[in-house]
Structure 1
Amino acid sequence: MITTKEAFGKKFEFGMDIHMDSDTNNIYVPCENENGVLCMTIEGQALWFTPLSGLPCGITEIQGTLCVAECFNGCLHAITKEGEFLRRLLDKEDMRGKPDYVCYGQDGKLYVTCSYYLYDVKQDICFVYTISGDISIN
C-alpha cells in the first residue's frame, strides 16, 4: 500500500517502513518516488525533506541518528533528525546484497535484511553489523 503526502510542491509516496521519534513524536518516512526522507509531525505537517542518491527503503535510529537503507545503491546513510546528511555508514563494497530494511537492536547491533540474486533467483537474507563509535561524527 502506497501512501501519498503533498508538501514542498511535491507529491511524496511512501510505503512499508517508518520510524517514530519517541522524544518528539515526529515521523520519518523513506519516500520512494523522490529518493529521500520526509519528516512529519503526527498531525501530518511536513517539516523537512532530505534527498538521497537512490531509492530509500528502510529506516531506523542509532544513537540519536537516523540510518537509512538505499535499496538499489546498496548503501546505508546517516542523517540527523533535523535532516542533515552526515555520511555513508556502509556502501556497496561493505554490503553483501541490496539492503531493504534495517533495525538497531538493544544488543548494539544493526540488523539488515538484504535481497540479492543468485543464478537469477531472488534470495532474501539477514546480515548483522556492529556499529562502533559515534556515527554522527564525519
Structure 2
Amino acid sequence: MSAFSDALAVTSSGLKAQATRLRLVSENIANVDTPGYRRKLAAFELTGDADTVRHVETGRIRLDQSERQVIHDPAHPLAGDDGTYVGSNVDLILEIADAREAQRSYEANLKMFEQTRQMSGALLDLLRR
C-alpha cells in the first residue's frame, strides 16, 4: 500500500501547487487595471532527494520585473504633470493562457488522484476475498 499512498501524496502536492498558481493568476487578473501593480509569479520546486518520493511545491512568490505600462490620462488622479501614470505589467491574454494551463494541470492531477484511489480500493476488495 506504500506505493498507493506515495502516489496520492505526489498528486495531492501537484493539486496544491496548481491551486496556488490559479490563485495568483486570479489575483493578477483582478489587478490588471491597478496602477503600479506588478504581476505575481510562482515557481515550482521538487522536494526530497533522488532516493525518496519527490513532491511538488510552490517556491517563493516573486514579482515580475518587466516594464510596467505608462498610461497617458491627464484626468486620472495619479497622473503627473505630464498627464501620465504607471499602470500594471499584467497582460490579460497571458494570464488567461496561464489560467487555462493551470486548470488543465489541476484536472490531470485530480484524475490521477481518483485513479489511484480506485486502484487501491480494488486492491482492498481483492484482498478481502
Q: What TM-score does the superposition give when structure 1 sets the normalisation length? A: 0.23
Q: Select the structure of larger CA radius of gyration.
A: 2
The structure whose residues are more often strand, as a share, is: 1
Q: Which has the higher helix share?
A: 2
Task: Provide TM-score, normalisation by structure 2.
Answer: 0.24
